[in-house]
Each structure stands twice: as C-alpha cells, then as structure tokens.
Structure 1
Amino acid sequence: MLVRLDSTQLTVTEAPLAFVERHADAIAAHWNRRVAAQPRLWNGPQFLFTDVRVHGGVLHGTAHRTDYAAFLFWRDHRRDGSAVHITGASLGVTTDGAIIAARMADHTANAGQIYFPAGSLDPGDVAGGRIDITGNIRRELAEETGLEPPLADFDPAMVAASIDHAWYVARRCRLALSFAECEARVRAHQAATGDDELAELIAIRSRDDTDRLRPYARALALWHFDDVERGEGR
C-alpha cells in the first residue's frame, strides 16, 4: 500500500512494549547468533511502534524505546502485528534523472540488499516528545552518503509504503548533482569517515531497474516514475 502524507505525529512513550517483554529471552539468544555471524552489528537504541494509523494525511503512532536486537528479532521472526516498524527514507533524484540507491555491504544486517538511503528512527530524532522524521531522513542521507541537500530541495509532502507491519516514509529530494558526481561525493565521504555501510551506489533510471530493489523500495520508485510520466517528478 502506498499513501501520500502531509506530516507525521509519532509520539514517544516510556511505556514498555509488550512484544519485547514477551520475547525477551528469545531476543537475546537471536542477537547472540546474529553477532556470531556478523560481528560488526551494533545493538543501538531505536523504536518500535504501536497504534499506527493514517488519518487525514497524517501518520500517527506511539513510539516505544527498544534496541536493534529487538528489531532484528521482530524482523526475522515475522511479525505478529503487535509491534510496527517505521523507517525514514530519501528518494534522491539526480540532475540526470536517476534515483540514488545503494547495495548494502556484507557486514550489515541487510547484506547485498538494494534500497534507498534509510535508517531506523532513534532517540536522536526526538524533539519535544515527538519524532522528527524529516530530520531522520536528512541525517541518514548525510551519514551514509555525505550528501547534505538543504531542506528546500525536498518535496513538501511525503509518500509512505506499508508492507507486512512496516512503514517506509520517504521524502523526494531534487539533488543538484549528476549521478556520477554523487558517486564521487560518496567515495570521498567514505574515504574521509571510514563509513563502509554502502558497498556501491546504484542508479535507478527507469522501471526496468526496479526489479532488483527491495519490495518497498520498488513501490516507491514506481511511484516516482509514475510522477515523472505525469510531469510531476523530475
């Protein structure tokens, strides 16, 4: 399902999440197995959500503090609906018409998968008791790629894909660079920071390129190309 959003209202609660309490031992055991296979995984803080709904163009939800181990268990042991995951994503469109996607490095939890720069919401995204999803989207784009377009270059509205109790909230950004220039910027960023989460940058230039994307990313890309055909996207 795809839906256009005007805004989000994701409110942080200190209440425990029943899903995590119910599966605490299994979460710990699963995390130990995952780290044994991929030692560079990091159990950072993040959120899972309850009471997620869309009303009047606004995505509502209650954010419960948890960690990456709980998320991975939820993701890998699919998803009973008592918890929901929300991710911010950027749709960066280059001056030569490509959407910026990336293949994830082998040491990450999404090794080999191709999607748009994105990241789970975490406590650094909270302002005034609510999650700033646009701040998350811009931060993740900058951290992963070194690209830091101003807020004015992002579309005012958002689009969200909902698949299997997960929401992927995206804002499209009109980058002032070609795809080749973005690649050079990313390589320089990785050399300067040592960040190697992205194995390679990939240009999604048409519908024919979307089959290799994760399903939610493919849905967002097809939405963009529909907009292009209507003259609304670049």
Structure 2
Amino acid sequence: MSFDLPRNVILAVDAVDVRLDPGPHPFAKDNAAAIAENWQREMAANPALFDGTVVLLSQLAWRDNRLVGRCHAVNYSTFMLWRKRPENSGAEHAYAHAVLVAGDNALVAIRMGPRTVNAGRVYFAAGSFEPVDFHDGMVDVDFNMIREVREETGIDLTDARRGVRWHALSTASGTVIFRRYHVDDPADEVARRISAFVAAETDPEIEGPVIIRHAADLPEGLSPHMKPLIEWHFANS
C-alpha cells in the first residue's frame, strides 16, 4: 500500500483507520546516527526544543472515502531529521486541524510563538499525533483536535457542533485531516478568550489568535496548506 492517495485535492473522509504499529519505524532504525547528530544541531539553535514522542506514517491510502494506514511512535528528533530528508524515506507525516468556525462564520486560527519550530506561522491550532491519541491501537482524530486546541488556546471544543465528516488534503509536505468545529461566539470574542489564555500562560506555545473573515483574507505567515482550506470553507458555508 505505502502512500497511495490523490495529492493537492480536498478529499471527503468518512472514516480514518490508521493504526499504531508497536514496532520501530524503518526510518528511525536506518538513520539513528544521523538523527542524533542533527538533534545536537537543532538543540544548539533552539534549546527550547523537547525530544518527546510523536508518530510517523509508514503507510497511508484513500479507499472508498476512508483513510487507511499505519504509523509508528518516534522521537521528535527523528521527525526533525525526516523533515529535512522526506524524499524516498518510506515515511510521511499526517496531522489534524479543527477548523474553528465562529458564530459569524469567520475562522479563528493561531500564530505560533517565537520559540517553536514553526515560529510566526499561521494555521489552525494543531499538533502532531502522539501515542495518547490512539485508543485500542486506532487513531482518534477528534480527540487529537480537541486536545491540541485546548492546550494551545484554552478553548474547549468537546461540546462544539462538528462537521458531518472529516476532509483531507495531501501535499508533498504531509496530509492534513480537518473538520469544522462551530462555536456560537463571534470571532472577536473567541479571539479575546484566546488572548486572555495566552497572557496567563508562563510559556505559551502560540503568539495569539488570527481571525480570517473571507477567502481573500490571507494573513502574513500563512502556512501554504491553509489557503485551500480557507477557500474550501468560504465556498461551502
């Protein structure tokens, strides 16, 4: 199966069947020395980095509106080397976006903080899948979305109205799985709550909220994968 899904097109997704393989990822086994060397350089450049655990795909396919795949737990240092050597690595990255839709139909994204790997980048609050996001070996995409939004913004989406299904966009840099989450408050109030949360944090991960009010409202620092998601939202409101 490896990686078999259309690229650069938004796909409807009715189920996500991605399982956590308990074995090591081949990329991690084959590049142990290079991973350690690269991590020393990364830490020298940004001592705030933490070598936690994330997951890296070894297979992903789209079949009958289902994403089917396999992933492995790896150290963040492994992921950092993979980012520099993705070609012919036998690995790919997937992540999830809760598309936060305010009561006035504006989108509320975030700008990443200066101490993070993606400093200054604008996208929806998100983070890599971690082993905690897998239940009985199967990924729980919405659990990841809700957890990451809560950790980064203080907003709890547990009871928010969700889109009927997920969607996915696969590009050369990875596959984003996304779903609308609707809240009643207007965007200005959602942004105020996020700003208050960030101000109270000792070491916030994000710089603050970014409101996007229409398809052409593309803020500076917007991650490339965000433009088609924004256009999709406003074209399908």
Deviations 1:88-126 (A, max 9, x none): 111001112211111111100001111111110001111
SS in 2 for 1:142: helix
> How far is 1:36 from its partner?
1.1
> How far is 1:195 from its partner?
4.5
Deviations 1:123-160 (A, max 9, x none): 11110111111100111111111111234511120111
Q: 1:217 aligns with which of 226, 229, 237?
A: 226
Q: Which residue of 2 aligns with 1:171?
A: 179
- Cα separation, 1, equivalents of 2:212 and 2:203: 23
| AA partner of residue 90 (structure 2) | S
> How far is 1:190 from its partner?
2.4
SS in 2 for 1:209: coil
Q: Which residue of 1 aligns with 2:135?
A: 127
| AA partner of residue 38 (structure 2) | H
Tell me, yes or no, if the aligned pair for 1:118 and 1:140 is still in contact at 8 Å.
Answer: yes
1:226 aligns to 2:235 (yes or no): yes
- Cα separation, 1, equivalents of 2:22 and 2:180: 32
Tell me, yes or no, if the aligned pair for 1:157 and 1:171 is still in contact at 8 Å.
Answer: yes
> How far is 1:87 from its partner?
0.3
Tell me, yes or no, if the aligned pair for 1:93 and 1:172 is still in contact at 8 Å.
Answer: yes
> How far is 1:211 from its partner?
6.4
Bigger helix share? 1
Q: 1:140 aligns with which of 125, 135, 148?
A: 148
Q: Residues 151 and 128 of structure 1: is their aligned pair in 2 closer, same or farther, counting only changes over 3 Å?
A: farther
Q: Residues 165 and 190 of structure 1: is their aligned pair in 2 closer, same or farther, counting only changes over 3 Å?
A: closer
- Cα separation, 2, equivalents of 1:41 and 1:173: 30
Q: Which residue of 1 aligns with 2:189?
A: 181
Give TM-score scaled by structure 2 length: 0.91
Large movers: runs of 4+ above 3 Å: none
| Cα RMSD, aligned residues only | 1.6
Q: Residues 195 and 60 of structure 1: is their aligned pair in 2 closer, same or farther, counting only changes over 3 Å?
A: farther
SS in 2 for 1:39: coil
Number of equivalenced pairs: 228
Structure 2, unaligned stretches of length 5 or more? 1-7
Share of identical aligned residues, percent?
31
Q: Which residue of 1 aligns with 2:100?
A: 92
